[in-house]
Every structure is written in C-alpha cells, then in structure tokens.
Amino acid sequence: DTAVSQTPKYLVTQMGNDKSIKCEQNLGHDTMYWYKQDSKKFLKIMFSYNNKELIINETVPNRFSPKSPDKAHLNLHINSLELGDSAVYFCASSQGFQRSQETQYFGPGTRLLVL
C-alpha cells in the first residue's frame, strides 16, 4: 500500500492556466507538507497543515493555495501558472509537528512543466 500518494505524477500545461495537485496519506499522520524542488534540486518547504489547520506558510505567491479537506488530504491549487513554477512538487506527512524528531515521509512527487 502506498503511504503518501500524489496525483498526477506528471503535469504539462500552458502559462496562465489553473491546476491542482492532490495528496493523500494513509499513515494516520496529523501533519502534512508541500515542498517545491527546483531544477537545482533545492527542496524548499511551502506549506504545512496540522489537523487541517495551516501552521506554515512560507514566502510563496498567493497564486498557490493549499486546501486540507481532512487530515489525510492536502491539495495544492495553483492559479495563473508561470514558467518559474516548473518544478517537482513533493507532498510529505509526519505523525505530528511539535517534536523535532518527527520523520517526514514523502510522496513520489508531481513533475510540473509550464510551457
């Protein structure tokens, strides 16, 4: 069984479009994350939710809007896509968020290419 799953795996779209990426975890974890990994392989946190509530919102354009319908799901909606949004987006989850030793488990990634 897949622990953290994301759909779609690949996403190719035109500039200006709106797209969503979905993430689900079946680990029973309370905390979920979205990361962006650019072409230089730098993995940067974007958002984190704990029990459907936002706990991190890094300096990310407001074209990016996360939504957590329940604690097992964290979706990412992107409006007005730009060329610079092309990257791999990873979803992750952890048991909680308050302890530094919580291991994060990553999904397979969504490869977004904006043309």
Partner 1 sequence: GQNIDQPTEMTATEGAIVQINCTYQTSGFNGLFWYQQHAGEAPTFLSYNVLDGLEEKGRFSSFLSRSKGYSYLLLKELQMKDSASYLCAPSGAGSYQLTFGKGTKLSVIP
Q: Which is nearer to partner 1, 35 or 64 (CB)?
A: 35
41 makes contact with partner 1 (CB under 8 A):
yes
Whether residue 22 contacts residue 75, with contact meaning beta carbons closer than 8 Å, is answered with: yes
43 makes contact with partner 1 (CB under 8 A):
yes
Residues between 3 and 32 with contacts to partner 1, criterion CB under 8 A: 4, 31
54 makes contact with partner 1 (CB under 8 A):
no
CA pair distance 67, 65, nearest whole angstrom: 7
Q: Where are the beta strands (DSSP E) in 1-115?
A: 4-7, 10-13, 19-25, 31-37, 43-50, 53-57, 64-70, 73-78, 87-94, 105-106, 110-114
94: number of Cβ within 10 Å? 20
Q: Which is nearer to partner 1, 31 or 75 (CB)?
A: 31
105 makes contact with partner 1 (CB under 8 A):
yes
Interface ranges with partner 1 (CB under 8 A): 4, 31, 33, 40-45, 48, 55-56, 90, 94, 96-109
